[in-house]
Amino acid sequence: MDINGLVKKFYQVFGDDGKPRVFFAPGRVNLIGEHTDYNGGNVFPCALDIGTYAVARKREDNLIRGYSSNIESFGIIEAQIESLSHEVGHDWFNYPKGVVSTLGSHGHSIENGFDVLYHGTIPNGSGLSSSASLEILTGVVVRDLFDLEVTMMELVKISKQAENEFNGVNCGIMDQFAVGFGKKNHAVLLDCNTLEYEYTPIELGGNFLVIGNTNKKRTLAASAYNQRCKETANALKALQSALEIKSLGELSIEEFEKNKHLIEDGIERKRAKHAVYENQRTIQAVKELNGGNIHGFGQLMNESHKSLKEDYEVTGEELDTMVQLAWNHKGTIGSRMTGAGFGGCTVSIVKEDLVESFIEKVGQGYEEIIGYPATFYVVAVGDGPRELTEVLR
């Protein structure tokens, strides 16, 4: 659906009493650095050219009305701006509500309500951050509609807080940051401990980014994610009995190996190993990319997946099958799972002239083994959130 189609749909849903404004926020893919964000490590995500659109218009009263063109069965969902709370029946709309509520708790006055239609081009449950895209997008919509004095860094922190507290999801800050600070043709190396960041040009040298969606529903992801958070927190506590550190991300590999005996639980030791090694892999991967060594970068992607499979145990048959098939294909520079795991997506760097073969062969092999098809997306690295100013009919 193009922008004019979205505006037409907005008029159908909310009426044509006043012209709306149109906004976009990207999805994101993490190239390397998985499950390191809540462990105070580094991540290396980039924004995508797929994401979430919003068509929005101010109201005269205090009502917020939301509609998703992707899940039309919910119809228009309404909430009063002065009494926002998490409601099970509001489903997806709890994410925008959470951002509006948290903005208010930070002293950003929103004097009246608004109507908003959302349309997403990110596959649901794919691990490409549809929730963070929706949250940052809502923040930008409200900021611009009501002329709020709020920086992008504030919106990132507010969106994370909304997901943690309003919606009860223990995510780190990477997803919201990657969406909010997306830059075309660049990935961003973010230190999740300090929020210091630097952009790195994505020079793939005749290779393409291919996202492979396993199409497995990520039923275990939330509970397993929270369990991994607990396990790494326990490992950190054990290490703090002898080390003055605030996060696993502060450790070098040498320091970890010297002190890992302090973690008595074998499972927790494996989890900590992944967090430490993955953090160092991420730092090295950016160096390889900056040095023009795309094959070195790809090898570190492969090592990342092996660690996520063996030490962090968040992959599963579907992701492992897709990655193994990718590794077996002659066009693959590197491939790994991306996101929380237990379903969702892989990200691969594939030689340009072998992309079609990659999609055909990996897709065919995946369906033969798993029993249902995967979906593939050849993606570009896109810009961050913004208002779209194309002429609207």
Task: Give the neighbor-by-neighbor strand order of the sheet with 114-120.
Answer: 77-80, 63-68, 114-120, 45-58, 21-30, 386-388
State how far the Cα of 184 lies from the Cα of 325, in Å rounded to an integer: 30
Is 383 known to be catalytic? no
The three-point CA angle 282-288-294 to 5° equals 110
SS3 89: helix
Contact 291, 309 (CB under 8 A): no
SS3 83: coil
Contact 195, 173 (CB under 8 A): yes
Residue 269's CB is within 10 A of a number of other CB atoms, namely 18
Q: List, in sequence order, the alpha helices (H) in 146-242.
A: 152-161, 174-180, 221-239
Which of 190, 103, 96 lies closest to 135 in space, CA to CA? 96
Give 17's DSSP letter: S
* Burial tier of 46 (Cβ tally within 10 Å: 0-12, 13-18, 19+): buried
Contact 213, 344 (CB under 8 A): yes
State how far the Cα of 32 lies from the Cα of 29, in Å rounded to an integer: 9
Q: For residue 349, what are the contacts with CB-CB under 8 A and spacing of at least 6?
A: 204, 207, 208, 209, 210, 294, 297, 298, 301, 332, 333, 334, 335
Q: How many residues does the chain have?
A: 393
Residue in 17, 49, 147, 175 annotated catalytic: 175
Torsion of CA 376, 378, 380, 384, to 10 degrees: -20
Q: Which residues are catalytic?
A: 175
